Structure 1
Amino acid sequence: MPSTTMHEVPKIMKALVVLSGNRVEVTEHPVPEVREGDILVKTVAVAQNPTDWKFVDTGRANIGSVSGCDWSGFVVKTGTNVTSPRVGQHVAGFVMGSTFADSGAYGDYVRTPAELSWVVPDGTLSHEEAATMGCAFWTAAQALFHPTRLGLVEPPAKASGEEWVYIHGGSSSVGQFGVQLAALAGYKVITTASQRNFDLVASLGASAVFDYNDPDVVKKVKAAAGDSIQFAFDAVSSADAQAISAAVIALTGGKLIHVLPVNTAVTSRTDVERSYTLIYTSLGREFTYATGQHWPAVPEDKEHMVQFLKKVPQLVKEGKIKPLPVKLWEGGLAAIPEGFKYMKEGKVSAVKIVYRV
């Protein structure tokens, strides 16, 4: 089919671009070209993740790239090979920010492979809500269901209902989606959170929740699950989080996935298979950090995510997946550096900062 366009797309847009000196600034930037399998989306709302500011602060961000990962908007142009989604439809997704000049969510437009977006069903989520279902949602799905990560039963299939899964940091963005997805897959979910967020994680499907600051947390988690936990997902991955997540695994051993690289110093257990998941590999594109570290494309990671995303519209339509609580930050793209600072100072808890573009 020929390329179709909703309206005249400009050549130049406003975007939050990485500059030298570990900083970002809204500036004029080329609108990405649409390839045969791509869609171009007019962004309406974008969401913020820790990775967004960390890339800039740590020097991993490539100068001249567009910042931001999570977006929601309307399709305005499709590539010649695209039959779905259609021009005009509300879509949401995830891209790798601070890496490429032709990709990044924090701009007037975002380009993405069509198969790595999902159509938001009419009458379900607002753009602000849909934008929360990017980096954190994809990370939870990859960690829990990908065959080379935890390899759990994937919805709509169901586990027996008797197996426990431990999720560390259930009120974090990744943790909230992890709790929902594991419960949806038929597992009994045991998680940790601050006491003020106990009710929240319980409402998402957690069968038991404990305070990660409790010195007896490991003992209590193991007792609640009858020391049967074989699968754990650490959605925080600080040294303490990694240690607790390894310690709660049953004496018979098990498997543990972290969201950050494995800290080998936190546990001496050799019966726990530990690794970490990096969601950028689901995008099917090789990438190189400004620090020089290179990652090849991982086709099987992309294929898993493409198949998972096909299920998402129905899960949302049926109310089986809830978006994250939204903290709308006024000021649009220009206000994002202020939001970075707020998050860096540790002021975000159980909500997702979202901006309207």
Structure 2
Amino acid sequence: MSPLKQNAIVVSDEGTPVLKQVDIHRPGPGEVLIKVIAAGQTPSDWMIAERARLTGAVLGLDFAGVVEEVGADVPETVRHVGERVCGFVHGGTTHRGSFCEYLVASARYGIIAIPDSWSFEQAASVGCAGFTVLQNLYDTYLDLPTPLTPAAEPFSILIYGGSSSLGIYAIQIAKLSGLRVITTASKRNFELLRSYGADEVYDYNDPAVGQKIKTSTQGKLTHAMDTISEGNTGKIIADAFSDDGGLVGTALPYESIRADIRNHFTLVYHLLGKDFDFPFPYRVNPDNYELSEKYAQLLSATVALGKFKPMPTLIMPKGLASVEEGFAYMKGGKVSAQKIIYRIADTPKE
């Protein structure tokens, strides 16, 4: 039996992260209690803290740990005590955040088993990004090949922002699906992204980058995922696309600058099977339950292929006590081709 209280990072009245003692909740029907070993940081963590300002909510989306307890109606074939798992939750809005010692999460949605070859620190980098990539690609392109059914004839896809966590996992999903993967990054990350499967890497600082990609793809590019979705990313993608247009999966909503290019924005929280009010009100669509389980199964099967690699990690030295430092590091634009990770056991004891 887990203790009654735990260390957790919660939202202060000022919208900043603070380490406090909070209650440990029990899993309900269809849920599991997870002992969190490592938690990963996403840009959403600090944004939710500052913009939603839901005082007392536990922060953190990504987690990796061990199933401590299963709720009612959870078959052993779905989740079992002692299982190593990773995934994501909608942190910063309720008590269900990952920056804590014990986390209640869905047994089916937004969660997968961890391969024996992965450490908890590596696995904590996958949840939100891995599910976002699958949702974005396969909601945008309904007939896109998958890593389980690769394309017989490769065609090109542009993954804009290859050194982000979304980019690194999108490159791998697309490559395992048999596609020719083109991406953008700063020059220092070119070789790293090639090691993850990128066929061509272009410098996003090059004023002619869009035209160079269009030339390389012989003016036939119609598929892209924009993992950044800010600044001039839309223009670069438009410059690279075919004269006939196409589809772009976006990480944030924005208007396309070309009438023949349609942007498709997805929000990963839809896959968790719960209502929410931030970043906008959403009520569960029962049709999403099947889709949520489908993406969990696809990510699990892709990981099980043994060819899907976790991204590089930056482990902060003081566990949860380092979250404020981690937020400042990320907000300062210092994160590149790495995932900030907090090992819960590294949190100093009082």
Question: Normalising by the residue count of structure 2, what TM-score does the alignment of the two structures yield?
Answer: 0.93
CA distance in 2, matches of 1:344, 1:70: 18
Equivalent in the alignment of 1:121: 115
Structure 2 counterpart of 1:145: 138
* Amino acid of the structure 2 residue aligned with 1:281: H
Letter in 1 for 2:273: G
**Residues 74-122 of structure 1: CA distance to partner in whole angstroms, max 9, x if unpaired?**
0000012112221011111100111112x11111111111112211132
CA contact (8 A) 2:33 2:102 kept: yes
Instruction: State the partner residue of 1:180.
Output: 172
Distance 1:300-1:213 versus aligned 2 partners, 3 A rule: farther
Which residue does the alignment assign to 1:100? Answer: 94
Structural mapping, 1:150-169, within 5 Å = 150-151=141-142, 152-169=144-161
Partner of 1:16: 9
Per the alignment, in what secondary structure is the counterpart of residue 118 of structure 1? strand
C-alpha separation in 2, matches of 1:97 and 1:143: 20
Structure 1: gaps spanning 5 or more residues: 1-7
State the partner residue of 2:347: none
**Pick from 82, 88, 95: which aligns with 1:88?**
82
Question: For the residues of structure 2 that align with 1:128 and 1:245, how far apart are their CA atoms?
Answer: 34
Check 1:137–1:186 CA distance in 2 against 1; reply closer, same or farther (3 A cut): same
CA RMSD of aligned residues (A): 1.5
Any residues of structure 2 matched to 1:104-253 within 5 Å, and which?
104-116=97-109, 117-122=111-116, 124-146=117-139, 149-151=140-142, 152-253=144-245
The answer to whether residue 320 in structure 2 is matched with residue 329 in structure 1 is: no
For 1:42, what is the secondary structure of its paired residue? strand
Q: Tell me the CA shift for residue 342 of structure 1.
A: 0.6
Task: State the shift of 1:207 in Å.
Answer: 1.3
Distance in 2 (alpha carbons) for counterparts of 1:275 and 1:315: 24
How far apart are the structure 1 equivalents of 2:299 and 2:130? Answer: 10
> Residue 220 of structure 2 contacts residue 242 of structure 2 at CA under 8 Å; is this kept in 1?
yes
Shift of 1:350: 0.3
Pair 229,300 (structure 1): closer, same or farther in 2 beyond 3 Å: farther
Displacement after TM superposition at 1:308 (Å): 2.4
Asked if 1 retains the 8 angstrom alpha-carbon contact of 2:146 and 2:177, the reply is yes
Give the drift of 1:247: 2.6
Q: Partner letter of residue 338 of structure 1?
A: E
Change in Cα spacing, 1:131 to 1:346, as seen in structure 2 (3 Å) is same
What is the alpha-carbon distance in structure 1 between the residues aligned to residue 136 and residue 53 of structure 2? 24
Q: Is the 8 A contact 2:210 2:238 kept in 1?
A: no
Provide the residue aligned with 1:352 in structure 2.
339
Shift of 1:24: 1.9
Is the CA contact (8 Å cut-off) linking 2:41 and 2:62 kept in structure 1? yes
User: Which amino acid in structure 1 is aligned with residue 339 of structure 2?
Assistant: K
Contact 1:246–1:256 (CA under 8 A) maintained in structure 2: no
When residues 61 and 283 of structure 1 are mapped into structure 2, their CA distance, relative to the original with a 3 A threshold, is farther
Displacement of 1:296: 2.3
CA distance in 2, matches of 1:169, 1:300: 31
Instruction: For 1:289-308, list aligned pairs within 5 A.
Output: 289=278, 293-308=280-295
Question: Is the CA contact (8 Å cut-off) linking 2:12 and 2:53 kept in structure 1?
Answer: no
**Cα distance change on mapping 1:153 and 1:298 into 2, 3 Å:** farther
- The whole-number CA distance in structure 1 between the counterparts of 2:303 and 2:154 is 25
Counterpart of 2:199 in 1: which secondary structure?
A: strand
Contact 2:212 2:240 in 1 (8 A): no
Contact 1:95 1:112 (8 Å CA) reproduced:
yes
**Alpha-carbon distance change, 301 to 212 in structure 1, aligned in 2, over 3 angstroms:** farther
| 1:320-348 deviation digits (Å, cap 9, x = unpaired) | 21111011111011111110001100111
Q: Distance in 1 between matches of 2:223 and 2:252?
A: 17
CA contact (8 A) 1:233 1:245 kept: no
- Asked if residue 280 in structure 1 is aligned to residue 269 in structure 2, the reply is yes
Indicate if the aligned counterparts of 2:130 and 2:299 stay in contact, CA closer than 8 A.
no
Q: Give the whole-Å Cα distance in 1 for the aligned partners of 2:285 and 2:189.
A: 36
Match of 1:5 in 2: none
CA–CA separation in structure 1 for the residues paired with 2:342 and 2:46: 15
Q: Per the alignment, do residues 305 and 155 of structure 1 end up closer, same or farther by CA in structure 2, a change over 3 Å counting? A: farther
Deviation, 1:10, is: 1.8
The count of aligned residue pairs is 340
**1:224 Cα deviation from its structure 2 partner:** 0.9
**What TM-score do the two structures reach when normalised by structure 1?**
0.91
Please say if residues 242 and 258 of structure 1, whose CA atoms lie closer than 8 Å, have aligned partners that are also in contact.
no
Residues 62, 188 of structure 1: CA spacing in aligned structure 2 closer, same or farther, 3 A cutoff?
Answer: same
**How far has the Cα of 1:301 moved from its partner?**
4.0
